[in-house]
Chains A and B, each alone.
Chain A
Amino acid sequence: MIFILSALAFGLSRENTTAVEAWHTNSVVMSKDADGNLSQSLLTADDLADYAVNQDQAQVALTPGIMKGAGLREGVMFVGINADDLVSRSITLTKGHLSQNSDELVVSDKLRQKGFKLGQTVELGINNQNFKIVGFAKDAEYNIAPVAYGDIKEWSNVKGVSNRFVASGVVSKKTLVAKSDQVKAYSKAQFLNKMPGYSAQNSTFLFMIVFLIVISVIVVTIFLYILTIQKVENFAVLRAQGIPSRYLALNTLSQTVIIMVSAVALSVILALLVSLVIPTQVPMYFDIPLILLTGLGLVVMGTLGSLIPMGIIARIDPVTVIGG
């Protein structure tokens, strides 16, 4: 359950951030009034004047919208970008090519799975503007929504705002600072935590996982306690013969480690099998470092849980088996 829930949590969490991760962003500048929500940010050319656009830095223009075409309707995040900057270079195509005209879109692979096709004309934005899908990209989700990369010049039309606003923000590999009162700079962590629902969702999952780990450790401790209680008379005989309680306790400890490592390995295998039968719409992601860390945490916590049975072993009185 811990590994399945972790994979679900991580999968959902990634649906918020894959695009941002793909951009290799370390900091973001946006309008102060947006309060960290990039899709609500509106910047003018004057606001952007101090921020160069190059291979390490890019302007982005975000707005949520509904993409419609051939009977399909899907909520997307339109991300307006410039050619040959940090973001456009970070797009990894799975099919098609990058946009060459302002009426072309490169959209998330998720939309291909939902039925959108290469070359298909779709309507997007408040004015139902027509675009043609020319490419599909992987790792292109922002705040749960699949991303549709388009020309940044089309953004104000799609969003339905005055064309004096030219972008939502600037993303950079470097650490940006606010250079006017109108803008504010965020680190990557601050930016992600300000993403609507992201922090609350992660906290909820984190608490569920932590409680599951606590429950698992309690179950393991009870299991070891019962196992030890059942062996107390045998241990007492061994103690009477002179077998040190340290030897018995260390054996119980090593058994615990073996049980925990085996259980964790089996759990990971079962979780992987479950992921094969879970519908593709449900995002699951197995992050190897996270699995190793969680597994190690479980082994360590389970081993700590064995301290209670070890305490029982230390207190076993061999006299109890004399006189039957």
Chain B
Amino acid sequence: MEKLVLKNITKQFGSDTNLVTALDDINFTAEDGQLTLILGPSGSGKSTLLTILGGLQRPSQGQVAINGQNIDQLSTKEADQFRLDHIGFVLQSYNLVPYLNVKDQFTLVDQVKPKGNVTAQKFESYLNTLGITKLINKFPTELSGGQTQRVAIARALYTNPDFILADEPTAALDSSRVEEVGQLFKNIAVQEDKAVVVVTHDLRLRAYADRIYQLVDGKISLEEI
């Protein structure tokens, strides 16, 4: 089933002679149970695309539909609630709140979204799968890069989102950790039947992808696998 669909998305910044087209007529689909990669060099428009996918920015033209609902015209408050209910973000940096321990990183969400999050049993299994059960009382400064990223993934899963959006999740990781994170995303997609979208320029993640888009100079193309 198509979870996330972009139709003819264009995003422009500035005006007149300063007009910059960051995304040009983008068509994109991500499905449940699949890991979708958006590959592209720096400046290709990956981040802009991710913000539009996540409802953080509105496109200049086109439609963003998630589970059949158009999100490109939501108000700020509606977009906040939509992200909280449906999207799990894994960001490249500043992922964790530095003054909260790992457990509190999750329970913080309970204060604004007390219902609809994963059950304690389910979350325990996530923690086991991610290998961070013993880190629950540690603070972000006590974690390695790989551990930080796994906690961030667990936090993204905590709200029981429909899909996961990850922004350069392997940027700070060595090769062995890249494989670990790649496999994790793949497992989440398959085992949890979620749509996982990873925006990256790390070609090492190709091995885990079900679908790969190439984004160059704001234009997207689907790669044959």
Contact = CB atoms under 8 A, between A and B. Distances in A.
Contacts of A239: 80
B89 A240 contact: yes
A323 B47 contact: yes
A247 B94 contact: no
13 contacts: A240-B89, A241-B83, A241-B88, A241-B89, A242-B80, A242-B84, A242-B113, A242-B159, A322-B50, A322-B56, A323-B46, A324-B92, A324-B168
Contacts of B80: 239, 242-245
B35 interface: no
B23 to A, nearest CB: 13
Interface stretch (A121-129, A131-139, A198-206, A230-238): A230-238
B213 interface: no
A274 B159 CA distance: 52
A244 B47 CA distance: 22
B91 interface: yes
Nearest to B79: A242
B97 interface: yes
A322 B83 contact: no
Interface residues of B, number: 35
Given A240-B54, A242-B82, A244-B77, A324 B112 contact: no
Contact of B97 (A234, A244, A322): A234
B138 to A, nearest CB: 17
Given A322-B47, A323-B46, A240 B98 contact: no
Contact of A234 (B56, B98, B109, B156): B98
B167 interface: yes
B92 A243 contact: no
Given A236-B94, A237-B91, A237-B95, A319 B83 contact: no
A201 B167 CA distance: 65
B87 A234 contact: no
Interface of B: 46-47, 50-51, 54, 56-57, 77, 80-85, 87-89, 91-95, 97-98, 108-109, 111-113, 155-156, 159, 167-168, 171
Contacts, number: 76
Given A242-B82, A242-B83, A319 B57 contact: yes
B93 A324 contact: yes
Nearest to B85: A242
B81 A242 contact: yes
A318 interface: yes
Given A322-B54, A323-B168, 4 more contacts: A238-B97, A241-B83, A241-B89, A324-B93
Q: Please classify how large the interface on chain A is, using the bins under 10, 10 to 19, 20 to 34, 35 or more.
A: 10 to 19
Contact of A243 (B84, B91, B95): B84
A238 B98 CA distance: 12
Contacts of A319: 51, 56-57
A237 B108 CA distance: 13
Contacts of A324: 91-93, 167-168, 171
A229 to B, nearest CB: 14
Highest count of chain B CB atoms <10 Å: which of A238, A239, A323, A324: A323
A270 interface: no
B81 A322 contact: no
Contact of B83 (A234, A240, A323): A240
Highest count of chain B CB atoms <10 Å: which of A239, A240, A245, A324: A240
Contacts of A238: 97, 108
A321 B93 contact: yes
Nearest to B171: A324
B69 to A, nearest CB: 15
Interface in A215-271: 233-234, 236-245, 247
A238 B56 CA distance: 12
Contacts of B159: 241-242
A323 B82 contact: no
